Amino acid sequence: MSADAPVVAAVVLAAGGGRRYGMPKALVEYDGSLLVERAVRTARAVCDPVLVVLGAQAVDVWRRADLDGATVLANQDWETGMASSLRTGLDGLRGWPGRVDAALILLVDMPGMTPAALSRMAEHAAPDALAVATYDGVRGHPVLIGREHWAGVAETAAGDEGARRYLAGHDVIELDCTSLADPTDLDVPPGTGL
């Protein structure tokens, strides 16, 4: 990587209590590893640094999960929704000792996310970048947020909406990741039919 290449960080949002799932999704085992481990591995394949935001049962997650290569941040306000985790992650990046030009925001409950999708997003990294992955024309994750937007995103994020309100008021590049990843999130345990 050249010195001029944008530095892209990943922020893995893994703090939720998983109310509908019945347990924190960070602790859910999927194909032989915890969801949080999968998300961190996927992020590390493309991004450096990788920050993972924990909240519900954070100590249990920290003890059980292999989060090697990631910086763990604790969101004390995780019960207020995803916005507080997004703010925690972006605050962690603002205090990062090295240069970071943009952040890829990933959700812990998307086991079908791939390095290929993250790479597609990272190609557009810049301090002023705003990009969102789409799947068959529908916006999803990850979301790429350049550092010039971090303060605005943190200020407008509320409840479980994350960056949605900020993105709605700005020009956002939509990047088709349909063939690169499965955007399905695990809201409920498989087979429950909820």
Domain with residue 103: its CATH number is 3.90.550.10
In a domain, 185, yes or no: no
The Cα 48–Cα 8 span in angstroms is 6
Specify whether the CB–CB gap between 39 and 118 falls below 8 A.
no
pLDDT of residue 152: 96
Has residue 189 been placed in a domain?
Answer: no
Residue 191 domain flag:
no
**Tokens at residue 116, please?**
């290929």
Query: Would 181 be classed as within a structural domain?
Result: no
Residue 188 lies inside a defined structural domain of this protein: no
The tokens for 68 are: 């090697």
- Is residue 190 in some structural domain? no
Cα end-to-end span (Å), the chain: 45
pLDDT above 70 coverage of the chain, percent: 95
Q: Which CB contacts under 8 angstroms, 24+ apart, belong to 128-132?
A: 129/101, 129/102, 129/173, 130/167, 130/170, 130/171, 130/172, 130/173, 131/172, 131/173, 131/174, 131/175, 132/167, 132/172, 132/173, 132/174, 132/175
Name the residue among 168, 103, 167, 175 with its Cα closest to residue 134. 175
Of residues 97 and 150, more confidently modeled = 150
- pLDDT, mean of residues 127-147: 97
What burial class does residue 191 get, using C-beta atoms within 10 Å of its C-beta: 0-12 exposed, 13-18 middle, 19+ buried? exposed
Compute CA distances 138 → 82, 175, 178, 179, 192, whole Å. 20, 10, 9, 13, 25
CA 49 to chain centre: 13
Res 194: pLDDT: 46
Q: 106 in a domain, yes or no?
A: yes
> What is the number of domains present in the chain?
1
Average pLDDT for residues 137-148, to the nearest whole number?
Answer: 96
Closest CA to 47 of 125, 155, 138, 132: 125
Domain of 155?
8-176
pLDDT in tens, 86-95: 999 999 999 8
State the DSSP H helix or E strand holding residue 60, giving kind and residue range, or none if neither: helix 58-64
Is 87 contained in some domain?
Answer: yes
pTM value? Answer: 0.93
